Copies of this chain bind each other. A is one copy, B any other.
Amino acid sequence: MVEELVAAVGAAHVVAGDDPSVADLCADEALGVPAGKPAWVVWPADRDEVAAVVRAARAAGMSVTARGAGTGLSGAATPDDGAVLVSFARMDRVLEVDPVEAVAVVQPGVPLTVLDAAAREHGLTYPVHPGEQSASLGGTVATNAGGMRAVRYGVTRSHVLGLEAVLADGSVVRTGGRLAKISSGYDLTQLLVGSEGTLALVTEVIVRLHPHLPARRTVLAPFPSADAVTAAVGRVLAAGLAPTICEYLDGPTMRAVCAAADLSLGLPEDLVDADHLLVELAGRRQERVDEDAEELADVLGTLGAADVFDLPAGSARRLVEAREGAFWAVKAAGADEIVDLVVPRSAMAAFLARARAAGDAHGARVLGCGHAGDGNVHLAVFQPDPERLGATLHDVFAAGIALGGAVSGEHGVGRAKAHALETFGDPAALEAVRRIRAALDPEGVLNPGCAVR
């Protein structure tokens, strides 16, 4: 086998899976997914090398797991034991930014920071901010990553216009293009986005960019309850204010986030433990954003906000960055699992209440924050006992599903939530997914332990 891999990518780019130098590559950031034991780790340089690796693995009866930056939270980039782990670290170039079409053509190993910086040189931005900007574009395509700005711009799915990808048989498929829209048969682009390396290994991505909006205002509104936050979110969106950020943080999460960032917002002490709504407005012209911020403050005030704090630009940026890094704060605090359920946005408060009740029933502490505009709730669950943790998670998932939700809003299924999806997903939909997977990868080459099996 190693001969074929060396032939595919060169001896300098093949390392045995048990080599200590690759230990960090054998897991992603999912809290509950142990590191895998790949047979080999390879670093292809281009599409043809990726295809050669897939063909070699398939011929040898080995599986293939793709890995970007490894910042995923569901274990989709954690290799199966005995797999060939394909790192896209060498395929890290922004091939082109086309300001006329407002698209970029990008290799999968490009970090989001690099893509956004390249876009900004042309007055454009790639607005998908899943919270960890060192994430690779390929990883975000695989998981259909979202993040704070999805409330205005949509998730990764909304931005992917075309793909080049290697299928399980080593063939290369090209989908979409630099095309604003398309209706030319099944949308394979959209099928591959979010398929977590189980249908194809993406080797090139065409993404849509947006004009950068220079004017900004950020407000923080403490509310007496999550119910009040939820109600306010609906009104802010219905008003057409089109926020770029619309986040919920409960009191403990706000404390944890501010502590992690060493940030003092100067809130009165009795308001720190409130349920917080953080809203960012952005636009082309500062005077309009300022006017909208006043309208926003009026709306929030009439809906029960204890106060509406206009955050100075520096504090706003640090708070947003700290909120984006909330995962690291709760990880540092010893969280045992992160939940990423999505529910109808008006059900967020009800879901939080039921999730906390589930925690109480099993002795687990449950902290919440989330993308309130999207109904995408991130819960940190503290319960070190595996059995009680499992019971808590089951009840939390059941509560979200009962409210019309789905097991993951933006982290993906991966290995961490495969069981939850099998338990709570629509049976006919799961069967359809299994058939599609078997049709494109009958031998189970691509990430077999991941997602719907």
Contacts and interface: CB of A to CB of B under 8 A. Distances in A.
Interface of A: 99-102, 123-124, 143-146, 150-151, 154-155, 157-158, 167, 171-188, 190-191, 193-195, 199, 211, 213, 234, 237-240, 284, 288, 342-346, 373-376, 404-413, 417, 421, 425-426, 428-433, 435-440, 451-452
A96 to B, nearest CB: 12
Given A123-B238, A190-B157, A211-B238, A182 B436 contact: no
A446 B401 CA distance: 31
Contacts of A413: 183-185
Contacts of A187: 144, 157, 190-191, 193-194
A88 to B, nearest CB: 20
Nearest to A213: B240
Contacts of A123: 238
B195 A428 contact: no
Given A101-B345, A432-B440, A284 B183 contact: no
B373 A167 contact: no
13 contacts: A99-B238, A101-B344, A123-B238, A144-B182, A150-B180, A154-B181, A173-B432, A177-B404, A181-B409, A182-B408, A186-B436, A211-B238, A438-B439
Contacts of A154: 158, 181
Contact of A346 (B101, B185, B288, B375): B101
A436 B425 contact: no
A373 B174 CA distance: 23
Given A101-B344, A188-B432, A440-B436, A410 B211 contact: no
A255 B160 CA distance: 38
Top 7 closest pairs, chain A to chain B, by CB: A439-B439, A190-B190, A211-B240, A180-B374, A435-B439, A178-B344, A173-B428
Nearest to A174: B426
A193 B182 CA distance: 11
A207 to B, nearest CB: 14
A178 B404 CA distance: 7
